[in-house]
Structure 1
Amino acid sequence: MLTPVIENIIVKYLNKEASPSELETLDFWLKDEAHLEIFKSYIKTNHLIDANVLKFDTDTSKKQLLELISKEKKVIRLKTFYRVSSYAAVLLVMLGIGYLFKDQLFVTNGEGSNPPINMVKSTIEIGTDKATLTLEDGSEVVLNKNTSYKTAYANSDGEALVYNDDDVDDESSAEPVYNVLTIPRGGQFFIQLADGTKVWLNSESQLKYPVAFAKGKTREVTLVYGEGYFEVSPSTNHNGDAFIVQSEMQTVEVLGTQFNIKAYKDESDIYTTLVEGKVMVNGAHDNTVLKPGQQSINSPNSSMVVVNADVNMETAWRQGLFSFKEKSLKDIMIVLSRWYDVDIAFANKDLEKIRFKGVLSKEQELEDILSTIKNLKVINAYEITKDAILIK
């Protein structure tokens, strides 16, 4: 039986407000197999879960839950959304459900989970690793999970493109040979450049780069548009040769660091977020040096702004997540439209302004996400056609 005391602890646990002693109590209570079933039933009935609770390995699930509770006996704040407490997250994953906080959104997809109730399956597919490689002669090669590719410069297994780690001698008369990697909507891809620099490219992005870097010259690439996470090979490994990333309105000078640049064609501002190291961001009007955890916002008609950034949120896409913090429904749908390669429009423009906090898995079915938002009573309905969605 669920007593008022235990119910209160469960509520605190789900809201990440439970104290260490309360977690100890919950830990002890869950050692009874019947209590675990009560726990599951309570979550399903009282916490806005719209999904079928699936059968799972009770012993294994309980063991995982108890281990995580025991491991994380500390106070969890309600609004720490990116680092959702692992014992709460693992339970949701094991149940294979979408879990909602009031006016906030958290969705996770369990292994082998079924679509939520009243779902209508469509042809909209989850994004995957894919890209088009344009060679120096203008010919194009399609890269995806079903292909392999190899040249004198590089090779690909369909999920990554890796260039040979050979520098070339400085020859002033020789023109560098460039390749272009284009990531379509509904895609993502990883590339390792010839100097060892690693770049993760998000949906609807394009990178131009030399197939080899000349010794004694600045290593330079261009993020033509889109979003890329750069893990730059240090200049100390290349005789002090600096590394530069060009984009439409700015230049980022690097010595050896990790950072994220977001410069989409349909967004006027460019966002550069420094994860570690040091970069100089040169804009059209001014420049700034970023420290780890800072983000520069470069606008076409105003001075550059530097703010403190949630690095985990800004780079969550590379870990297979979408992380939103006070983002409007319009902004969220723009991100989703790129990953699922679908146009999303609003029948009621007022809906575009509604804001959410939360985390979405990039492996989540889009219909699942839309159904979750609908169940919050934020939207009345959504209509899916072959390659478009209308939010009502």
Structure 2
Amino acid sequence: MEFKLILKKLNNSISPKEELVFKAWYQEKKEHRQFFNNVKANYNKNIEIVDIEEAWQKIVDRIDKPKPHKTYWKFAVASVIVGLLGTGYFLKDNILGDSIEKKSVIINENSILPGIDKAILTLEDGSQIALEKGASFQNNNVNSNGEQLVYSSKAKVSKEIVYNYLTIPRGGEFYIVLSDGTQVWLNSESQLKYPVSFKEGDTRKVELVYGEAYFDVSPSMEHKGSKFMVLNESQSIEVLGTEFNIKAYKDETNIYTTLVEGKVLVKSPTQNQVLKPKQQANLNLQDKSMSVATVNVYNEVSWKEGVFSFKGKPLKEIMKIVSRWYDIDVVFENKELENITFKGVLGKNQELEEILMTIKTLSILEDFEINNKTIILK
């Protein structure tokens, strides 16, 4: 296997992206941390991991008695080093196939590459600018190197507020700094409407028209007490200075607002709810009801760090996220697969085949077919 993250961690040869995968596993459970510390205490640099069973035997032989139950620790080892096809791992609800049959995989098109930094900037006069690596843009108020968009804090405010739109297509993501210093990370298939400059003393308002965005809001104290609001067709969020994530896709029936730091007030047509850090508001768009739950923040916002972290999500939901990033369509030929749940971490820089092969290798899929931009899961 190619990625032996525990050994790389102990050898200080782990890459930044592999470090993200390792941290997700390490922080997930007390038993994982306990296991890593046992391995570290009995580590021998001459150990070479070849496969899961051999890895288990060589590592466990060096761990002092009483030894942990073999089956549990086999999964612990697997969850780290099974990133064999990229910086990612998947576990299927405590079931890891003992034997893996080789099955045919049909690929009728070139490799499907992961998404990149790209967006469409729509200016106040309606003109559109394609933003992507290698294509720079600049005017009096904003400049872009093709990978980020930064608005000037010194832009003059006209009597009438002027708005720009930033639209992220499927297969893209983008980072923007608003004129007040607020940072926004936009995920695939998203659109943000915002002023070129904010009027001093007025509430700073932007609109997440659709999609997903992570906000790191410039504090009110730096703007003479001016509040910051994120609007959406179905809700609004009022903040004083905080970090939070909003997921409001057009093809979903719920809006999820996750608070990372600070304090926000989520307003819907039927109720208002103040969120504390690590809480998530779930607004049901069908009946307008809102519920609040404590969540693992890392799983909700890791997408902006180049990682997809899933915990107990059904494959149908996972593939919806994957389809936006790779700009593909997914068909479940075997409908029973839709509701199988997993926990795992995926690096967003992998080719699509690597992700599908990882899932297939763990005996989650019988087979899959890539036909142009359509993936068929069997």
Which interval holds the TM-score relative to the shorter structure? 0.7 to 0.9
- Aligned residue number for residue 312 of structure 1: 298
Gaps of 5+ in 2: 1-25, 57-71, 97-103
Give the partner amino acid of 1:152. Answer: N
Instruction: State the distance in 1 between where 2:334 and 2:127 align.
Output: 44
CA offsets per residue over residues 293-348 of structure 1, 9 Å max, x none?
11101112142111101111100001101011111110000000000001111112
> Which among 109, 112, 118 is matched to residue 130 of structure 1?
118
Q: In the alignment, what sits opposite 1:16?
A: 32
Q: Aligned in 2, Cα 1:214/1:247: closer, same or farther, shift over 3 Å? A: same
Residues 18 and 212 (structure 1), Cα distance of their counterparts in 2 relative to 1, 3 Å cut: closer
Amino acid at match of 1:233: S
Greater RCO, CA 8 A, separation 6+: 2
Q: CA deviation at 1:382?
A: 0.9
Say which of 191, 207, 210 aligns to 1:225: 210
Match of 1:292, SS state, is: coil
SS at structure 2 position matched to 1:315: helix
The Cα shift of 1:26 comes to 2.0
Paired residue type of 1:41: V
Alignment of 1:155-304 (within 5 A): 155-166=143-154, 168=156, 174-300=159-285, 301-304=287-290
**Deviation at 1:386?**
1.3
Q: Name the CA distance, whole Å, in 1 between partners of 2:36 and 2:113.
A: 43
Please say if residues 105 and 358 of structure 1, whose CA atoms lie closer than 8 Å, have aligned partners that are also in contact: no
CA contact (8 A) 2:90 2:345 kept: no
Q: 1:126 to 1:119 in 2, by over 3 A?
A: farther
Establish whether residue 344 from structure 1 lines up as the match of residue 353 from structure 2.
no
Report what 1:26 is aligned to.
42
In the alignment, the residues of structure 1 paired with residue 165 and residue 176 of structure 2 have an alpha-carbon distance, to the nearest angstrom, of 11
Q: Does the CA contact (< 8 Å) of 2:236 and 2:266 recur in 1?
A: yes
Assess, with a 3 A threshold, how the Cα gap between structure 1 residues 293 and 225 changes in structure 2: closer, same or farther.
same
Q: Does 1:150 align with 2:138?
A: yes
The 1:105–1:325 alpha-carbon spacing in structure 2 relative to 1, beyond 3 Å, is farther
Residue 161 of structure 1 aligns with an amino acid whose one-letter code is: L
Matched residues in 2 for 1:385 and 1:18: separation? 44
- 1:231-273 Cα offsets, whole Å, 9 max, x none, are 0001111111111100121000011000000000001110000
Question: Counterpart amino acid of 1:281?
Answer: V
The offset of 1:375, in angstroms, is 2.0
Extract unaligned runs of 5+ from structure 1.
Answer: 1-12, 48-77, 107-116
Deviations 1:369-390 (A, max 9, x none): 1112112222221111111111
SS of the residue corresponding to residue 126 of structure 1 reads coil
Match of 2:16 in 1: none
Deviations 1:172-223 (A, max 9, x none): xx22111000000000000000000000000000000010001121110000
Aligned letter for 2:152? N
Partner of 1:114: none
Residues 273 and 20 of structure 1: is their aligned pair in 2 closer, same or farther, counting only changes over 3 Å?
closer
TM-score (normalizing by structure 2): 0.78
**Partner secondary structure for residue 390 of structure 1:** strand
Change in CA separation of 1:218 and 1:100 when aligned onto 2, cut-off 3 Å: closer
CA offset digits 1:108-144 (Å, max 9, x no partner): xxxxxxxxx9795734121010000001111100000
Aligned to 1:321: 307
Cα shift at 1:23 = 3.2
